[in-house]
Chain A
Amino acid sequence: MAEIRLENLRHSYVANPQHEEDYALKRLSITWQDGGAYALLGPSGCGKTTLLNLISGLLTPTEGRILFDGRDVSHASPEARNIAQVFQFPVIYDTMTVFDNLAFPLRNRNVPEDEIKIRVAEIADMLELTKTLHKRASGLTADGKQKISLGRGLVRPDVNVIMFDEPLTVIDPHLKWQLRSKLKELHLRTKRTMIYVTHDQTEALTFADQVVVMNLGEVVQSGTPIELFERPQHTFVGHFIGSPGMNVLPCELRGGQAFFAESPVPAANIGQARIAGRTELGIRPEFVSIAEAGIPAEVVRVADAGRYRIVETRSHGHTIKLLLKEGGEVPSGHTFLSFDPAHTQVYEDGWMAGAHR
C-alpha cells in the first residue's frame, strides 16, 4: 500500500522527441492517495494506457519521476514495484488449473504453500470461483477468465496498487454489471488503491471516487463525478461526460456581461473572465429550460430517452439540447430558452474562466 506521486512525468515513444506532438503523454503531475478508487477516463489513444504502463513499470518514463510513498521507482521493474495489473483481454495460464493460476504470483515470490492455500481460497470465495478451483483455466468462459486475471491481481496482500486496463471490454453486457459491482465491492473490502482505465463514462463514474479525464495526452480535469458533471474545467469534459453532452455556444463578452447572439446570458464565473481568446458558454442540457421569454429557438426534434425527453433546438445556427422530464408538455415550433445562471459557465480557449490549470 502506498501513496503514488507522479512528478512532471512525460513519455514519448519516439527515441529523440523534439516537438510537443512527439509525446504520447504530455507533462503531468498527480498524486493518488492510498486506498482510493480512481478512474482514468478518455477517448481511445489519449494516453491512458501509456500512463498506466508507466505506473506499473512496463514502460520507463522519458522524463519525470514516479514515487511510491516517497521512494523513487521510476526505473524499477514491475516486480520490484509490487503492483498488480489486469489487462483488456483476459490473460490466463492455459495449462494450469484455476487454483494454480491464482497461486502463480505467490509461488513466484516463494510464499509458503500453506499460506498460498489460505489466500487462494479467500480470493476464490470473493470472486465466486470456489467451485471451479480445480478445473483447467482454459475451459472457462471469457468472464470466468477475466475473474482469474482479477484474482491474480488481488491475491497478493501487499500490492501497492491494482490497475485495470479496460477490463470489461470482452465481457458480455449482462455480466459487465455484475463484475463492475463486484469490483466496487472488492475495493470496499480490501481498501486497496485501484486505478481503472476506461473510455466508458458509466464505468468510470460508477466505480471511482475520483475521475481523471484525459485527452490528447494530457490530464484535462481530475475530480469527483459530481465536480466533473457540474463544473467541467474544459469543454472537452463537458462533451465527453454526460448524455447528451454539454451545449457549447460561442459568446461575446462586453461590459462584464456575456452575450449569445446579442442576448445577454448571466454566467456563474463571469467575474473571472479575462476577455482573451475564443470565448464560449457551456451549459448542460439538464440546466436549460423552456421559458416565456429569453433566447429565441426553434424546436427541431424530440427524442424519448425513457425517464426524460431530449429536445433538440436550433438558435442562430447553433444546436442547443435540453432535457424535459417525462410527462411534461412537449414543445414545438418557435419557443424561448432560459439557462440556469448557477450552471452556466464561460470558457476561454476551451478552459473554464478562472479554472486552476
Chain B
Amino acid sequence: MANESATPLLEVENLAVEFDTPAGPLRAVRGVSFEVGECETLAIVGESGSGKSVTAQALMGLVPQAARIAGGRVSIEGRDVAGLSDREWQALRGERISMIFQDPLSALNPSLTVGYQIGEMFRRHRGAGRAEARRRAAELMALVGIPDAERRLDDHPHRFSGGMRQRVMIAMALALDPRLLIADEPTTALDVTVQAQILRLLRQRQRAERLGMILISHDLGVVARAADRVAVMYAGRIVETGTVAEVYERPAHPYTLGLMRAVPDPRDIGAPLEAIEGRPPDLAARPAGCAFHPRCPFARDVCLTDDPAPHEFHAARASACHFAEEVIAHGGN
C-alpha cells in the first residue's frame, strides 16, 4: 500500500503528448496527472488507443519519433525530467526507473546470450569486469526464478519459454536497483498459469525492494489482482482514479462502470453482459465536450459542450464526469 508520508517516487502533472501527423498535431494524451509512491502499484487501465502505453513511454523519455511531450511536468524522485539530455536520461533509465514490455523478445538481442545481456547492465553502468558481470547475472537469474541459472547464462533468448524470457527482462530491469518499474502489459502474451507466476514474482520483488510500480494493462482481472490503485484512461485522458477496492465496488465514471459490466461478473454467473455501444473515438475526431458522451447512457446537454476535468469528490478519488455521484448511485451494490 502507499506510503502516505514519503515524497512520491513519481509525480505526473497535466501531461500532454502530441503526435505530428500530416493533418497536424494529434493529442494522444492530455491532462494526465498521477503519483506513485514507494511499494505501491498504480495500474493504468484502458482499451487499445486510450493512451496508456504512450503515457508509459513519456515517463521513460521514450516517446516515438513522431511524438513529443506537449505540456505538463514529470518528476522522478522530486527531479523534473524536462530538458534532460540523452546522457542524463541514460543515467536515469535502469538506475532509477525501468520498464518491461509485453514482448520480451523484441527487447532482447537474439544474437547475444542472456547472461551477456544481463551482465552488460553491470559492465556498462557499474564498470564490472567480465567475471563479476557474469556472476551477478547468474545471481539475478536465480533471484527471478530461472532454474539452473548458472548453466542457462550461455543460452540465447530463443531457447527460453515466453515466461522465462519475461523473467530475463525483469532481471535486466531490476539489475541496477531502480526505484520505479513500469510494466507495460507484462503478462498479456503469457498463458494464465505463467501469468500468475510472473505477477507473483513482480509482487515479491516489489516488496523486497520497496519498488513503486506502474502496471499498464487492458485486463481488469489482472489489475484487480496486482494493483493498489487504478487510473482508468479513455481517449487520452484519465477518467477515474481511486483504490482498486473503491473503483471496482463503486465506479464513478460511466466508462468504468461500462467496462465492469462488459466483463463476466464472477459473483453473478451468466448475467447478461452490457456492452458499451459504439467504439472509442478516433483521436483526430475527438467529440466536443466529454469524449465519452456519444457512448454514455448518462449523457446530457452539458456533456456535449463541457469537457469535465477530473475532480476529487473525496480523498484520493477522482472522476472526470459531470454526474459522478449519479454514476456511483447507479452502480452501487
A and B interact physically? no
